[in-house]
Amino acid sequence: MNVLTSHMRKYEAAPVCHDIQINGQLVGLHDSGILWWPEESLLVVADLHLEKGSSYARRGVMLPPYDTGATLEKLAGVMDAFDPACVICLGDSFHDADGSDRLPAPYRAMLTTLQLGREWIWVTGNHDPVAPVRLCGETVEEISVGPLKFRHEPVEEIGAERAAGEICGHLHPVARVRRFGRSIRRACFITDGTRLVLPAFGALTGGLNVTDRAYSALFSRRQFSVFMLGNDRLFPFTASRLVGD
């Protein structure tokens, strides 16, 4: 069984999401790392970092060249399960400004197929500040849908009006907990009900622990929760249960 088939088979049943409210809107968090807004038939994904391997190779750092394929295969499985009317990619979809131009033909064809029959919105990020080359979709710096705002980098103000309803990426959040004498570290969603930061979706992405001070400008101390990605489910924890790296 190839990787794409395994992903599609994993999600062939009705997807199960963990429902939460963000700025009064009911959205679903999925163990793949995507956000699903059923009322809008909207799927949101952050930080694909496509062509990261080839970007490093250009600088003489050799990484396995399979990151783009693995990421797109995972995304295809999720898209097959949810069949969204619209997809928003929250920036850093490509690892550098030339990444979309380097996209190998088979991967370009695969991504183009995923875009067929639906609206596709590229939010610009710090790694990819320009529109993708020879790919469909609208490119924006940020976009609002009802009371929710979709951008790459979060607004660094706690309780600011601009932050209300914010859905973003950029930080690649991960969380660590200690249970039964073991330490477990996983990518996660982080939210206080007002804003939400998505985990990085890309196959070749690192993570920043949510206890890092970079998050202190976004969430009040111990007044947030995380949803750690597990196998076929999410694991929720309050901030008081988390430990640093």
Question: The pTM is what?
Answer: 0.91
State the residue for tokens 């939400």: 196
Alpha carbon distance 32, 241 (integer Å): 23
Q: What is the pLDDT of residues 37-92, one digit of tens each?
A: 999 999 999 999 999 877 766 776 666 678 999 999 999 999 999 999 999 999 99
Query: Which sign does the torsion angle of CA 180, 183, 187, 189 carry?
Result: positive
Q: Could you tell me the residue range of the domain that residue 138 belongs to?
A: 3-241
Instruction: Provide, rounded to the nearest whole percent, the portion of the chain with pLDDT above 70.
Output: 91
pLDDT of the residue at 8: 42
Alpha carbon distance 4, 17 (integer Å): 21
Mean pLDDT of the chain: 91
Q: Phi/psi at 223 (nearest 5 deg)?
A: -115, 45
pLDDT at 6 over 70: no
Q: Which helix (H) or strand (E) holds 112?
A: helix 105-115
Confidence bin at 14 (pLDDT 50/70/90): low
- Count of domains in the chain? 1
pLDDT of the residue at 10: 46
Helix (H, G, I), strand (E, B) or coil at 51: coil
